[in-house]
Amino acid sequence: MSTAMTAVPEKTTILVIGGGPGGSYTAAALAREGHEVVILESAKHPRYHIGESLTAAMRTYLRFIGLEEEFVKHGFNLKQGALFQLVQGMEANWTDFQARIPDYETWNVVRSQMDELMFRHAEKSGAKAFDEIKVDSIEFEGNGDPKTARPIAAKWSNKKGESGRIAFEWLVDASGRAGVMSTQYLKNRVMRESFRNVAVWSYWKGIRATGRPYSFYAEVLTDKKGWAWFIPLNDGTTSVGFVTHQNTSTERRSKVGPDGRKPTVTEHYLDMFQYAPHVKDFLKEGEMIPGTTHSASDYSYWAGDYAGDHYRLVGDAANFVDPFFSTGIHISMSGGLSAAATICSSIRGDVDEMTARKWHDLKVGMLHVRFLLAVMGAYRQMDLEQQNFDYASELLCQGREYFNHAFISFRKPIQELRTSGETTEEWTVEDVNNMMEGFGHFFDSTVDEPDVAEVMKVHGLQSISIMAPVLGNKKIDEMAKDEMTKNVLKKFDARKLFGPEVEINSLKRQALFGYIVNLEQGKLGLVKPTEGDMVVELKATACDHCGSDICHCGH
């Protein structure tokens, strides 16, 4: 039913704040399970948003909520892979998303079109979806402390001056960077200084392709103070932007020119092209569209908790990594599905609410640190000034439990590389640095398809499958009789950093607290794995300092 002319109800079972990809996905998944869901979105669809490139395997998530066919028919640009120019003077590294795995093809999208498509799909799935409705405040049971009390209602308003109150049993906060629960009530958002970045971008028309049609392209800046992106879109425009640390951006925008004034945003943007020769070359025949230049903070952040009593945090409302690998929408959908599954199970009584919320918290935290380490590894490969930050210590301080679970399959091969003499089973700073160093092989431009085919012929498909166990340097040295084989195996070992997380089936292959996700339509929720399931059990261990299975104290 259309909610365009109906009033916001006074109560619902589940309230979703935010009608972006995370909120719409969560709402669609819950509504398809028969639950009463209301979405409140503050803006009016279609609305502009940045973040136009999607990661591999998005098709599997769209398929689960019945949106795959409509999404394909819409005509978004098919993204066959990504080009990474991380070292000036060397060939760009091509990552093929479709090779050997058809489900891994993905798209570049005009976000206003995609977000509205998902919002309306949630409505078609049974959710009551309202845009131009702003949530002003949240009420908690007994007017208690938001950190311990259960949220029970929200007050809203619109531009017409109307206002109201909606009571609910469950809350999903998908409010984006505003992060209603995290910033206003829990007050547990932590900014990551090493990725306190600023982006500036605009849109172009009439430009030539990169040689890999419709593919995402990233280029390190020649001064090593940031990177540029190039994303062809289905409306005939191309999104082109730059990411630098806030300190660099502030310094450049504060410089007074010969005319005695500071540069405008557009002037600052155009000046950045001197540091991105390849992107500049792509734009030779193009024209920048007037009035499309934007600048915004691109800060990376995380929260101390991603779930609580009868509420879940999803997408940017929970955390944000960095735009480099275009993981934002993937994290939103994966987190949305986790929220939906844990809420369904808690409602049915399959698991108690404490287990359900801990499951979601750990899953969201694991995904965040996994992609964060990948970005840190990429920044190291680009040899950016920002690598002077202590990435490893920062990762471990965020919460060792998240890190321990996210990289459990890497622990043994990484610990074999220790030179410090440490014998502890815990991850050390040296281990994390070795992880980032190893991930650099992901961008090895010397590996080409004939090399991969030769290694697969000799060592089998498992040797290059990103879903296969991690080999590690010791095993690779035993297998490889030449440098070519070694480079191929190391590259695919690095790609396994994404392996368990990129597709939807990862939710039923990794058991947390003894549970996996049942992805059967109509039975979405947490279940105990059966004897025939191919499952890796990730067991939590209580922190000696705070006693929590999911430690946030940094020890």
A 10 A CB-CB count for 346 gives 23
Q: How far apart (Å, rounded) are the C-alpha atoms in residues 362 and 38? A: 26
Structural domains for the chain = 11-74+109-188+303-362 (3.50.50.60), 75-108+197-298 (3.30.9.100)
The pair of structure tokens assigned to 10 is 């006074």
Residue with tokens 């109150």: 165
What pLDDT does 5 receive? 60
CA 199 to chain centre: 17
- Cβ pair 413, 473 in contact under 8 A: yes
The end-to-end CA distance of the chain, in Å, is 50
Q: Distance between CA 274 and CA 279 in Å, rounded?
A: 10
Give the pLDDT confidence score for residue 182 in this predicted structure.
97
Cα-Cα-Cα-Cα torsion 203, 204, 208, 209, nearest 10 degrees, comes to 10
φ, ψ for residue 412, nearest 5 deg: -65, -50
Residues 1/164, Cβ–Cβ less than 8 Å: no
Identify the pLDDT of residue 459: 93
User: pLDDT value at position 1?
Assistant: 40
Helix (H, G, I), strand (E, B) or coil at 226: strand
Q: Which residue has the tokens 């976000």?
A: 111
SS (H, E, C) 130-155: EECCEEEEEEEHHHCCCCCCCEEEEE
Alpha helices by DSSP H, listed for 382-471, are: 391-397, 400-406, 411-415, 429-439, 449-459
pLDDT in tens, the chain (555 residues): 446 568 999 999 999 999 999 999 999 999 999 999 999 999 999 999 999 999 888 999 999 999 999 999 999 998 888 899 988 988 888 877 766 566 778 899 999 999 999 999 999 999 999 999 999 999 999 988 999 999 999 999 999 999 999 999 999 999 999 999 999 999 999 988 888 999 999 999 998 767 677 789 999 999 999 999 999 999 999 999 999 999 999 999 999 888 989 999 999 999 999 999 999 999 998 999 999 999 999 889 999 899 999 999 999 999 999 989 889 999 999 999 999 999 999 999 999 999 999 999 999 999 998 888 888 888 888 887 665 667 777 777 766 678 778 788 788 888 887 787 777 777 888 888 888 888 888 888 788 889 999 999 999 988 888 778 888 888 999 999 999 999 999 998 888 877 656 778 888 888 999 999 999 999 999 999 987 665 666 555 444 444 444 444 443
Handedness of CA 174, 180, 181, 183 (dihedral sign): positive
